[in-house]
Chains A and B, each alone.
Chain A
Amino acid sequence: MSLIKELTKGFIKENPVFIMALGLCPALAVSNSIENAIGMGGAATFVLLCSNILISLLKNFIPPKIRIPCYIVVIASFVTIVDMTMNAYLPDLHRNLGIFIPLIVVNCVILGRAEAFASRNSVLKSIFDGIGMGIGFTIALVAVAFFRELLGAGQLMGIQIFPNNYQPILVAILAPGAFLTLGLLMGLINLFKKPETD
């Protein structure tokens, strides 16, 4: 597969959230505003990229029997670096994302790509795969956040879009709204996906 394909496959076709149903916890938890969604997407992409690179570099060095714990140490290290750096330089975002920053380490997307791709492919390919999947993940989060923030608060990125007397659909920004929005979006994507597989 050409490198560009490696990059773009994560956007829609193999989108980690909508198609592969990975990384669901942050997809629902931090999609209550676009700003949080982008922040989480960026953090996860960074970790995904770094861990993909390092694991691809070490793929011949790590014995298969202990590969999962090794991947975990690598991923957890990058997550901790992101955690500390965000706490120092972006404290508000750090507070908003809260417990979901350390939870990036169990984001199935990252461990999944390490196991399925980075451990079997070259560093260059892993880079493109990491960036692509990360962007796909971010796209999914932003898509859900778009609807939740717009309907639930009448805002996008904190800017009032709907007129002030708009009565927000509160449930959109609360827990149930997250599930409903994701379900509807998934259904919508399935609707457009069907003709392809015929």
Chain B
Amino acid sequence: MTYYIKLGVILFMIAAIASGVLAFVNNFTKPIIEENQRQMEIEARRTVLPQAKTFEYVEDNLPYYRGYDEEGQLVGYTFMAVGAGYSGDIQTMVGLTADYKIFSISVLIQTETPGLGANCTRPEFTNQFSGKEVDELYIDVDSGDIDNITGATITARALTNSVKKASDIIIEQTKDLSDNTKHDYSKDKETA
């Protein structure tokens, strides 16, 4: 009996030491990981809506940021579109102008096939979105205006559809608000 207890104790000790070491490393790396994520999103927001000087976070079904220029005028919205691609989620940051046209998109995270779907991050593909109305967001195979990526229809379709879907939600969430135009700088926490 004591033999089995001894076995249990040894295993427990090893597991406990392991957990301790991991907790230590975790404390060290977790803030870096979170900071990386934050930085990436800040960068992306500025890229897809460069006219905006400040961003204001809005909690909603699909959380988004309102972008304001120096005079406090609303210039547009930024939000994340997520779609299931060929091999994992594709996360795209979208910049929508105040009159609901796509200004720019930036693919943040994708693990699509290198040389095929992964080319969805290239400007040749993403630039097509700029200036489009939200209703025009379909790939050409689905009777839309966005040129497909040869051999990566799944990726192109997933990305395009996710951007359209998210944009529709944002339009729905923002179209009725009347206090959209002026921005109160005194409430600012984040400046671009």
Contacts and interface: CB of A to CB of B under 8 A. Distances in A.
A76 to B, nearest CB: 8
Contacts of B88: 98
Chain B interface residue count: which class? 20 to 34
A62 to B, nearest CB: 7
Chain A interface residue count: which class? 20 to 34
Interface stretch (B69-77, B109-117, B135-143): B109-117
B14 A73 contact: yes
Contacts of B21: 77, 81
A168 B119 CA distance: 14
A74 B26 contact: no
Interface in B147-183: 151
Contacts of B130: none
Contacts of B15: 73
A87 B33 contact: yes
Interface string A60-101: 011101100110011011001100110111010001101000
B29 A168 contact: no
Interface stretch (A103-111, A133-141, A150-158, A183-191): A150-158
Given A65-B7, A66-B7, A170-B116, A95 B111 contact: yes
Nearest to B26: A84
A87 B36 CA distance: 9
A77 B111 contact: no
A149 B25 CA distance: 35
Contact of A63 (B7, B32, B109, B111): B7
Interface string B100-113: 00000000010101
A65 B7 CA distance: 8
A151 B82 CA distance: 31
A63 B32 CA distance: 39
B11 interface: yes
Contacts of B192: none
B18 interface: yes
Nearest to B86: A174
Given A62-B10, A89-B32, A84 B25 contact: yes
A69 B29 CA distance: 27
Contact of A174 (B6, B36, B113): B113
Interface in B1-46: 6-7, 10-11, 14-15, 18, 21-22, 25-26, 29-30, 32-33, 36
A81 B11 contact: no
Contact of A33 (B6, B10, B30, B114): B114
Contact of A70 (B10, B22, B25, B33): B10
A85 B15 CA distance: 20
Contacts of A33: 114
A80 B14 contact: no
Given A80-B22, A155-B115, A168-B115, A87 B7 contact: no
Interface of B: 6-7, 10-11, 14-15, 18, 21-22, 25-26, 29-30, 32-33, 36, 88, 109, 111, 113-116, 151
Closest 5 CB pairs of A and B: A153-B115, A88-B32, A77-B18, A88-B29, A84-B29
Given A77-B18, A168-B115, 12 more contacts: A62-B14, A63-B10, A74-B14, A74-B18, A76-B18, A77-B21, A80-B22, A84-B22, A85-B25, A173-B113, A173-B114, A174-B113
